[in-house]
Amino acid sequence: MISLRKKLPPLTALTAFEAAARLGSFTRAAMELGVTQAAISRQIHVLEEDFGFPLFRRLHRKIELTDQGRALFNASAEAFNLIADTVSELRAERQDDQLAISATISFAHFWLMPRIAAFSRAHPEIKLRIITQDARNSIEAGDIDLALRYGTGTWPDGQAEFLFEDEVFPICSAEYALVKGPILTPADLIDHPLISSDTDDPTWTGWEEWLAAFSVKAPKKARGLRCSFYTEAIYAAMNGQGIALGWHHLVNDLIDQGRLVRLTEASIKTRAGYFVVMPAKRAAKESARLFIEWLRASGSLS
């Protein structure tokens, strides 16, 4: 019986071929593999000599796969992807005690970090890595085990599970409320500096939408501070610079501490909610399952 090793072409040459076929260029394949273009050409020539037929058609300033080359590329790409997935799973098993969690800056700052010690006390064997980023990067690459996001739950890069909804109401510092009050109704708010934050998220509630829910028109020329991030808006409110919109789950701790106060009884439910998102193409770690259970329990108490 012929051994498997003898049935296979040289793996170095096959690697060079797969990269060139996938990228459609000997030059780009050389850059990806860290070798010269001449080295890629030599390796592919080795394959073509071994097979006895060309794998590429060399055209003016480009290459094209022959029918035989396309058949080899489909098989090699599938095999390499299978190996890569298996290696990722094995590495994940080796590092199963580390859980990488992505969260927005505001959620990590105001909700997650004040509570995360409770999870670590319950599961000291799990090493946590918190990645704060407002940019919504794909979680399929393998660096992140789960992401905590606010939105509608329709993201193409993973499977989303609903955690909890939220409500929004106006907040300010206790000193501001004492000096500038009374502020009893939504209509009273437009006479004050309204602090806002920039966002590209259409589900995020701003002053115009919030006031419109109570038939109050937002002032055309807002006097309040405009911040790049929601965290900055909350700190501006705590420092007495005006009134901001508070998401219950994000500001409730600060209200309990007396660093913020809620104004009026008016509030609106958010159009979106908080979700945990896990990669669709990777099996969830046991540590991720434990963390999600903790999230649900903690969210219900907030």
- Would you give per-residue pLDDT tens digits along the chain (302 residues)? 456 666 778 888 888 899 998 998 888 888 888 889 888 999 999 888 888 899 999 888 888 999 998 999 998 888 888 887 777 766 655 555 689 999 989 999 999 999 999 999 999 989 999 988 877 777 776 678 899 999 888 888 888 999 989 999 999 999 999 998 789 999 999 989 999 988 777 888 899 999 999 999 988 777 888 898 899 999 999 999 999 999 999 999 999 999 999 999 999 998 889 999 988 877 778 888 999 999 988 866 65
Q: What is the pLDDT of residue 141?
A: 64
Nearest CA to 18 among 53, 50, 36, 43? 43
The reply to whether domains 95-164+272-301 and 167-269 share a CATH topology is yes
- CB distance 283 to 91 below 8 Å: no
CA dihedral defined by 197, 198, 203, 205, rounded to 10 degrees? 30
In sequence order, which ranges of 137-181 are alpha helices (DSSP H)?
174-180
Single out the residue of 126, 138, 109, 271 nearest to residue 206, CA to CA: 271
The Cα 171–Cα 261 span in angstroms is: 6
Give the position of tokens 């099996």: 283
The answer to whether the CB of 285 falls within 8 A of the CB of 96 is yes
Given this model, what pLDDT does residue 109 score? 93
Topology classification of domain 4-93: Arc Repressor Mutant, subunit A (1.10.10)
Query: Residue 285 burial by CB count (10 A; 0-12/13-18/19+): exposed, middle or buried?
Result: buried
CA separation for the pair 297, 291 (Å, rounded): 10
pLDDT value for 148: 93
Q: What is the pTM of this model?
A: 0.64
Whole-angstrom distance, CA of residue 119 vs CA of residue 102? 16
Half-sphere exposure (Cβ direction) of 116: Cα atoms closer than 13 Å: 15
Domain map of the chain by residue range? 4-93, 95-164+272-301, 167-269
pLDDT score, position 1: 41
pLDDT at res. 93: 56
Reply yes or no on domain 167-269 having CATH 3.40.190.10. Answer: yes
Q: How many CB atoms lie within 10 A of CB 273?
A: 19
CATH of 95-164+272-301, one of 3.90.550.10, 3.40.190.10, 3.90.76.10, 3.30.300.30: 3.40.190.10
For residue 135, give the 3-state DSSP assignment.
Answer: coil
Burial of 61 (0-12, 13-18, 19+ CB in 10 A): exposed
Q: CA-based Rg of the chain, rounded to a whole angstrom?
A: 28
**How confident is the prediction for the chain on average, in pLDDT?**
87
Do 210 and 268 contact (CB within 8 A), yes or no?
A: yes
Number of other CB atoms surrounding residue 123 within 10 Å: 16
